[in-house]
Structure formats: C-alpha cells, structure tokens
Amino acid sequence: MSGAAARQEGRESEPAVRPDGVTPSQTVGPFFAIGLPWPDGPFVVDEGAPGAIVIAGRVLDGAGDPVPDALVETWQAGPDGRFSHPDDPRGDAGDDPRGVAGTVPGSTGGGGSPAARFRGFGRCPTDAGGRFRVVTLRPGPLPWPGGGTEAPHLDVSVFARGLLDRVVTRIYFADERDANAADPVLNSIADPARRETLIAIPEPGAGHGDERPAAYRFDVRLQGARETVFFDL
C-alpha cells in the first residue's frame, strides 16, 4: 500500500544525488539483545564441522571487570584465503568454502562435508562473565594489495553500551609465528607488547590430530595497561 505510494512519487527516476554525508554512529546501548543476537550467530560453521576451531575469551573494561553487555562480531576468509564476495578480485570461492582444500596449512582435506555451510561472519553477545565464543574455521593467508602476504586473521567489531562507535581489532594465531612476523598490519605496530594483544593463544588440550590447536583464547581489553590494539578503519 505505502510502497506503491512511495513509488508514485517517482523518486527512483531521479538521478543519484550525493548525500550531505554519512550517518553518524551511535552506541548499541544496553538493550541490543532484543534485536541483534541470532541463535546461530556464534556458529560460523557448525560445531562438529571438520576443522572447526573455537575462539573464546572475555571483554574487559578499564577496571578489569567483565563487560556483560557487549556484542562481538567476526569476519574472515575461508581456509583457502578467499571470500565469497564480488570485491574479492580473485573470483568467487564457489560453494565449497575450502576451495583448494588441503593446499593451505591447517585446512582439513577435501571431500564434501558439513563445512560447506561457512558464513565467514560470526556474532556473539557476551554473557554475565563478559565471555564470548565463536566456532569457525581457521582462515587462510591473504595476498596484500601492495605485495606481500597477510597472516591468517579475523577482523573483529566490538559493540557495547559506553562505546559510541564500534571498536575494531584483529585476531591472529600464536602458532602462525612465521606468517605473523611477515604480516604488514602487525608490523605497522612498533611495540611488541601491543602486537601481542592481537594474538590468540592456543588452549591446552584437544587438537585436530595434525598438531594444530582446536581452541584459542582471545581477550579484548577496552582500557588499561594491556589495552587491546584498536584500528582506525
């Protein structure tokens, strides 16, 4: 009814007008749980998918207290280092997110599998203890537009009451030492102690039999002596 009314105004026939500017960010506030969490949000892949890893940790404030009302979102390449996205100039990875599975260290071998449902995107609200947990696949390394290679990583957005804009950070993997040492973003951070805030640490315990860890810990410290590195995107 009103869709038709809007169309009668003929706005779509107008040429594109350059808007005055972008819409400002505002805080997600304390009540986002009404609208944003999804039951499948933390599962970038299904929990039992071959090669699945868990990245879990806490969001902490400047007093070291847990932030129980934060939302952690992750975005990453598949194990083959590709994105199912038109702006990945190397072309679509196709339906099998693992693409050339087996050629990337840490990927899980070929064959059709439940891992085909790989979203690349994870979303998890923190609990009363400030904890979040995302189940995903280990991303592959990426070519850097200026030459060189980015180490496997996830881009992370953290939203919370008290944050007027999201804060953006990255998760790298401690067992990718050589790749991390050559990573252009990590190397743009001069202080080694600050770089360390971007490194997820393997949890002791179960691996995948190929000696790669299956679980990592990554804490986000919004303030304080060990404040996480946040990026100007």
Segment interacting with other proteins (CB under 8 A) among 49-57, 105-113, 137-145, 203-211:
137-145
Of 215 and 222, which has the nearer Cβ to other proteins? 222
Of 4 and 211, which has the nearer Cβ to other proteins? 4
Counting Cβ atoms within 10 Å, is residue 209 exposed (0-12), middle (13-18) or buried (19+)?
A: exposed
Closest by CA position to 44, among listed 171, 229, 186, 149: 171
12 binds other proteins (CB under 8 A): yes
Site string for other proteins, 181-220 (x = CB under 8 A): -x-xx-xxx-------------------------------
DSSP-derived secondary structure letter, 165: S
Counting Cβ atoms within 10 Å, is residue 126 exposed (0-12), middle (13-18) or buried (19+)?
A: buried
Q: CA–CA distance from 135 to each of 18, 44, 46, 115, 132 (Å)?
A: 41, 6, 7, 12, 10
Site string for other proteins, 154-183 (x = CB under 8 A): xx-x-xxxxxxxxxx-------------x-
Name the one residue in this structure whose structure tokens are 């071998």. 109
Site string for other proteins, 41-80 (x = CB under 8 A): --------------------xxx-x-x-x---x-xxx---
Shortest spacing between CB 177 and other proteins, in angstroms: 14
94 binds other proteins (CB under 8 A): no
Shortest spacing between CB 160 and other proteins, in angstroms: 6
Name the one residue in this structure whose structure tokens are 């790989």. 118
Shortest spacing between CB 233 and other proteins, in angstroms: 5
